[in-house]
Structures are given as structure tokens and as C-alpha cells.
Amino acid sequence: MSTTRTREQENRGHETGGGGNRWLVLAGGVLVQLSIGAVYAWSTFSKAIQADPSALELSKVQSTIPFTVAIGMIFVGAFLGGRMQDRRGPRVVALVGVTIYSIGIMLASLARDAGDLWLLTLGYGVLGGFGLGLAYIVPIAMLQKWFPDKRGLITGIAVGGFGFGAVITSPVAQGMIAGSADYQRYPTKVFLWLGMAYLVAGLLGASVFRNPPEGYTVASKGGASTAKATTANAAGRDFTSQEALRTPQWYILMFILTISVTAGISLISVAAGTATDVAGFSAAGAATLVGIMGLFNGGGRILWAAVSDRIGRRPAFIGILAIQGLALMAIPHAGSVAVFYVLCALVYTCYGGGFGTMPSTAGDFFGVKHAGAIYGLMLVGWSIGGVVGPLLISGLIGEDEAYTRGFTVVGLIALVGAALPLIARPPKHA
């Protein structure tokens, strides 16, 4: 009888985490990420803002400013959010983050003409990006503590939610704009309703956030072993953010993330134009391609994170960078729609995979106790790559549409970067 009771307790501990339902916490994390991941649906609004019925009358350059500012502000929010959650806990930081993000989106709905570009940038860019960064880092750090037995897969699922956010938001927003003459003239009005939806969903998800109790362990289903939430990187201890920054390994991991983002976002930034010019897509077909690729972005975060749990983080990153490099170099030579789809899917899957795999890699190297601050700082690679990638690829392609030159250079950068994981060894601490 006692043996049966013990096994039942172990299995219950495996499912609930010994201090609460960890699967409910995971569901909350995915819901938050879905809400803030809608930021990647900006191209839908950018296109509507530039269309003839729109009263905003923004140029192509002007219409990219709010999104560019938002991506830049993510690092600021993630840096502060990572430090705050280590001190105040995940729930408070996530609640504040989704609130600021949603208020920013709703504020952007007040922009009515070109003179309101500052308001659109303040709302969507500054407040939206900052709140996004605050909320984004929280579930990534928190869930590694709840799931020490499967850190890669779980953080992959969490950031996969972020990748899928735009897949949901984009068609909803497009349908709302297309279905109303008023919204076609003032596309930003849609932000009011979307911001309200983000606020409700984000607050609901964040309300279940909390760290596991001190000394928390997870029993295996067979009851033979346990995984502790606060162990264990190779050094046998948890690094503080200051200690991590004093190691060369932190900079190597940040550089790996930067190269992965640079490679993937280079294609993302010119995907539609490349599809029409290289593979002969129609304008509608290119738009469909971009929407479908969002699924591979989200799915890649889960896939590569799970793969990294099985084959190891370093081999996974070698694959992520090498596949991106080879696929990018092949894209200018894709003469058919089918081949172009396959190559783009590989790049998008690996791009998402970098975000899905790096949080658990940082946890393996530096421990998870201060994962919020350590990985939050590492997201500077996201901001750097998000700026360098589009500028680099557009400059290389140029007005003469030299796609072979552009994608070959970026592909080579990714291939060279694939050597970095070979020297990325977890730090030792005396």
C-alpha cells in the first residue's frame, strides 16, 4: 500500500510540479507569447497604411519606423524585465509588460494622418516594444525552472507561441480592414480592438505565473530519478548576470544568436520581392507565401528546441546555422515555386529554431536561477541582427536586383558562424 501511494505521489508531482500545476503555467506562458507575438503582423498594417484609401499617406520608409523602433525597444524591455523578475517574481513583471504593450497598441489607434506618425511610433514602437520585451523574457526564464527535465522543448513551445502570434493576428486584422470602408481609410483604428484583445489574453495568461517553490524537484514518471529546478550547468552552480558577462562564453552565445537572426531576417525582410523576382510568384502568391512561412517560424522554435534536448545544444546550433547558410545561397537559383517554398521553409524554421534553442542553451551554461537577466541581456543579438540583416541584404541586392550576390554573402556569413558552436564550451567556476 505504501509503495503504491509513493508512486502515485511521484506521478502527481511529475504532472503538477510539486508546488502547482506546471502545465497551467505553461499554458499561461503560451497565451502571453501569442498576444505579444502579434507585433510581427506589422506588414499587414504597413500595407494598409500605404494603400490609396488610407488617410495616413505614409511613405515606405515612414511606414517601417514604428516596427523598427518596436524591435529596438524589445532589448530594453527584456533587459529590465529579466532583472526585475529575479527580484519581484514573474507575475508582476508579466502583468506590467502586457499592460504597457496593450496600452501602446491602443494609443497607436489614435493616429489619423501623416502628422500623427510620432503618435504611431510612440504607441506601437516605444511603448509596444518596451512592454513586449518586459513580458517576452518572463515565461522563458520561469518555465525553465518549472521544467528542468525538458528545458529545451518547453522554452521552444513558449517562444513558438510568439512565432504563431502574427499568424493569428494578420488574417484577423486584414479581414477587419477589408470589411470596412472606415477602417480602409483609417487602418489604425483596428489597433483599438486588437489592443483590448491583447490586454485580456495577456493578463489572463500572466495571472497564473509564479516561480516553483524553493528546492522544487520533478520526479520522473517511473519514479527512478528527479530533476532539480536550480541545477545545473556544467559548473554545478548558478551564475549571476555579472558573472556571466565576465565569461567569453556569454559573448559567444550572443554572437551565435546575432548571426542566426541576421541570416533569417535577411530573407524575411525581402521575402515577397524575392519570390516575385526569382521564382515568378504573383503578388498574391508572394503574400500567401509570407503568411505560410509564419507557421514554419513558430514551428521551428518547438522543433529545434526538442531536437536540441536529444542531440545537444551545440550540434543543434551547428545545424541551424549551416542549413540557413546553404538554403540562403540556393534561393537565387530556385527556378520553381515548389523549390522556393522548400528553401524558405528551411530558413524560417531555423530562424525560429535559434530563438527556441538559445534560452535553454544559456540555462545549460549559466544555470536558470538568474536566467531572466542573463538571457534578457543576450537578446541584444536580436536587436543587432534585426537592424543589420535587412540593411545588409537590401544594400547587397541593390537597384540592379543582384539576388545572387546578396544571398551568397549572407549565406556565407551563416556558414562561417556554424563553426562558433564548436568552441562554445560551458564555463567552469572555481
Report the pLDDT value the prediction gives residue 165, as an integer from 0 to 100.
84
Report the pLDDT value the prediction gives residue 404, as an integer from 0 to 100.
94
> What average pLDDT does range 410-419 have in this prediction?
96
Q: Report which of 79, 134, 80, 71 is spatially closest to residue 102, judged by C-alpha positions.
A: 134
Least-confidence region, from 91-100, 121-130, 255-264, 299-308: 299-308
> What average pLDDT does range 256-266 have in this prediction?
94
Report the pLDDT value the prediction gives residue 60, as an integer from 0 to 100.
67
Residue by residue, DSSP assigns 81-141 as HHHHHHHH-HHHHHHHHHHHHHHHHHHHTT--SGGGHHHHIIIIIIIHHHHHHHHHHHHHH
Report the pLDDT value the prediction gives residue 317, as an integer from 0 to 100.
96
Query: All 3 cell numbers of residue 96?
Result: 506590467
Report the pLDDT value the prediction gives residue 133, as an integer from 0 to 100.
92
Q: How confident is the model at residue 16 (pLDDT cuts 50, 70, 90)?
A: very low
pLDDT tens sequence across 89-141: 899 999 999 999 999 999 999 988 888 889 999 999 999 999 999 999 898 88
Is the entire prediction scored with pTM above 0.85? no
> What average pLDDT does range 326-340 have in this prediction?
94
Residue with cell 505560410: 292
Q: How far is CA 211 from CA 11, 268, 409, in A?
A: 20, 35, 44
| 410-424 burial code (b ≥16 CB/10 A, e <16) | bbebbbebbebbeeb
pLDDT for 223 beyond 80: no
Residue 217's SS3 state is strand
pLDDT for 17 beyond 50: no
Report d(CA 198, CA 230) in Å as an integer.
32
Q: Would you tell me how many other CB atoms lie within 10 Å of the CB of residue 5?
A: 9
Q: How confident is the model at residue 247 (pLDDT cuts 50, 70, 90)?
A: very high
In CATH, the number for domain 2-213 is 1.20.1250.20
Q: What are phi and psi of 163, to 5 degrees?
A: -65, -30
Report the pLDDT value the prediction gives residue 6, as an integer from 0 to 100.
40
Q: How far is CA 375 from CA 75, 79, 344, 355, 363, in A?
A: 10, 8, 28, 11, 8
pLDDT for 196 beyond 90: yes
> What average pLDDT does range 267-278 have in this prediction?
83
Query: All 3 cell numbers of residue 139?
Result: 515565461
Query: Distance between alpha carbon 292 and the CA centroid of its chain, in Å?
Result: 17
Q: Which residue has the higher pLDDT, 264 or 87?
A: 264
End-to-end CA distance of the chain: 47
Q: How confident is the model at residue 12 (pLDDT cuts 50, 70, 90)?
A: very low
Q: Where are the alpha helices (DSSP H) in 282-402?
A: 283-311, 313-330, 337-366, 371-378, 380-397
Report d(CA 97, CA 80) in Å as an integer.
11
Q: Would you tell me how many other CB atoms lie within 10 Å of the CB of residue 385?
A: 24
Helices 60-88 and 371-378, interaxial angle, to 10°? 160
In CATH, the number for domain 230-423 is 1.20.1250.20
> What average pLDDT does range 137-160 have in this prediction?
84
Assess whether the region 2-213 and the region 230-423 belong to the same CATH fold.
yes
Domain residue spans of the chain = 2-213, 230-423
pLDDT for 175 beyond 70: yes
